[in-house]
Amino acid sequence: MNASSKFVGFTIALAAVFGLAFGAGDPFGAGLAVLLTGGFVLGDRTDLGAVEDAYATHSSASGDGTGSDHSDMNDMDGMGGMDEEEVSGATSAEVPGGLQVAEGGYTFELPATGYRAGTQSVSFRILGPDGTAVTDYEESHEKELHLIAVRRDFADFQHVHPTLDSATGTWSVDVDFAPGTWRLFADFVPAGGEALTLGSDVLVAGNPGDQKLPQPVKTATVDGYTVTVTGDLAAGEHSMLDFEVTKDGQPVTDLEPYLGAYGHLVALREGDLAYLHVHPGGEPGDGVTEPGPIVEFGAEVPSAGRYQLFLDFKADGVVRTAAFTLDASRSTTPTDQPADESAGGDSDSGADDGSSDGGEGTGEEHGH
Q: Record the pTM.
A: 0.67
- Crossing angle for the helix pair 27-42 and 48-62, to the nearest 10 degrees: 170
For every one of its 368 residues, what pLDDT tens digit does the chain have, with 9 covering 90 and above?
554 444 444 444 444 443 434 444 444 333 333 333 333 333 333 333 433 343 344 344 444 444 444 344 334 343 334 444 433 333 444 689 999 999 999 999 999 999 999 999 999 999 999 999 999 999 999 999 999 999 999 999 999 999 999 999 999 999 999 999 999 999 999 999 999 999 999 999 999 988 888 999 999 999 999 999 999 999 999 999 999 999 999 999 999 999 999 999 999 999 999 998 788 989 999 999 999 999 999 999 999 999 999 999 999 999 999 999 999 998 766 544 444 444 444 434 333 443 334 333 333 333 33
Per-residue model confidence (pLDDT) at position 278: 86
Neighbours of 135 (CB within 10 A): 17
Burial of 106 by CB count in 10 Å (0-12 exposed, 13-18 middle, 19+ buried)? buried
**For residues 19 and 23, what is the distance between their CA atoms, to the nearest angstrom?**
6
Of the candidates 234, 230, 229, the residue with the CA atom closest to the CA atom of residue 313: 229
Tell me what pLDDT residue 83 has: 44
Q: What is d(CA 83, CA 61) in angstroms, rounded to the nearest whole number?
A: 23
The pLDDT assigned to 361 comes to 36
Where does residue 163 rank: exposed (0-12), middle (13-18), buried (19+ CB within 10 A)?
exposed
Structural domains in the chain plus CATH codes: 3-72 (no CATH), 95-204 (2.60.40.10), 219-329 (2.60.40.10), 334-365 (no CATH)
The predicted pLDDT at position 209 comes to: 87
Q: DSSP character for 227?
A: E
Distance CA 232, CA 279 (A): 15
Q: Which of 85, 325, 127, 315 is nearest to 215 (CA)?
A: 325
**Are the C-beta atoms of residues 343 and 248 closer than 8 Å to each other?**
no
* Interior angle at CA 354, CA 350 and CA 359, nearest 5: 165
Is 237 strand, coil or helix? Answer: coil
Phi, psi (deg, nearest 5) at residue 333: -75, 160
DSSP 108-147: EE-S--EE-SEEEEEEEEEE-TTSSBP--EE-BTTBSEEE
User: Omega of the bond prior to 334 within 30 degrees of 0, cis?
Assistant: no
Helix (H, G, I), strand (E, B) or coil at 365: helix
